Amino acid sequence: MEINLLNGISNIEFGISKYEFSKKIDSDSKFEIIEEDGDFKTEAIYIDNLESSLFFEGSESEMKFAACDTQNHNSILFGKQIFKLNKDELINLMKDNNYSNLEEEVEEWGEERLGYFDARIDFYFNNNKLKSVSWGVE
């Protein structure tokens, strides 16, 4: 599975409508409402073969693919299998690809987060091992 920063995941681009996505992917999974605020809502669908949750945002008639969270150990970023990299190797990979505006913090649940705002990506580590990756668009 290819992580395409600011663009999407493999052959699914950010901005695709929920309707177009549903036609494109063959899955028995159902969308689940994550958050609802008036007309605006966020829905998620877990895709088993991608080991990923995809998030759609907008009004009911305008839901668009906006973010992804994965635990897929075969995920590729900049040609590297990132789940095989330690924290320092991942920082160097991002730096080698012109992303150096790093924010580091420990989340309240204990995982360490490496965030790159300009790439809209967060890497979550536990004991120096990558556990999940979340990325999206503005």
Query: Structure pTM?
Result: 0.91
Q: Are residues 26 and 63 in the same domain?
A: yes
The Cα 69–Cα 61 span in angstroms is 23
Q: End of a domain among 49, 70, 91?
A: 70
Q: Is residue 63 part of a domain?
A: yes
Q: Are residues 31 and 53 in the same domain?
A: yes
7-60 residue pLDDT tens: 999 889 999 999 899 888 766 778 999 988 888 999 999 998 889 999 999 998
Q: Is residue 77 part of a domain?
A: no
Q: Are residues 92 and 65 in the same domain?
A: no
Q: How confident is the model at residue 138 (pLDDT cuts 50, 70, 90)?
A: confident
Q: End of a domain among 33, 48, 70?
A: 70
Q: End of a domain among 44, 70, 96?
A: 70
Q: Give the helix/strand (H/E) hosting 95.
A: helix 87-96
Q: Are residues 94 and 63 in the same domain?
A: no
CB atoms within 10 A of CB 89: 13
47-90 residue pLDDT tens: 988 899 999 999 988 999 999 999 999 999 999 999 999 999 99
Q: Give the helix/strand (H/E) hosting 46.
A: strand 40-47
- Total number of domains constituting the chain: 2
Helix (H, G, I), strand (E, B) or coil at 126: strand
Q: Are residues 100 and 129 in the same domain?
A: yes
| Rg, the chain, Cα only | 15
Length of the chain, in residues: 138
Q: Are residues 44 and 89 in the same domain?
A: no
Task: Tell me which residue has tokens 């159902």.
Answer: 30
Backbone torsions φ then ψ of 92, nearest 5 degrees: -65, -40
Residue 41 lies in domain: 3-70
Backbone torsions φ then ψ of 59, nearest 5 degrees: -85, 165
Q: Is residue 76 part of a domain?
A: no
Q: Is residue 107 part of a domain?
A: yes
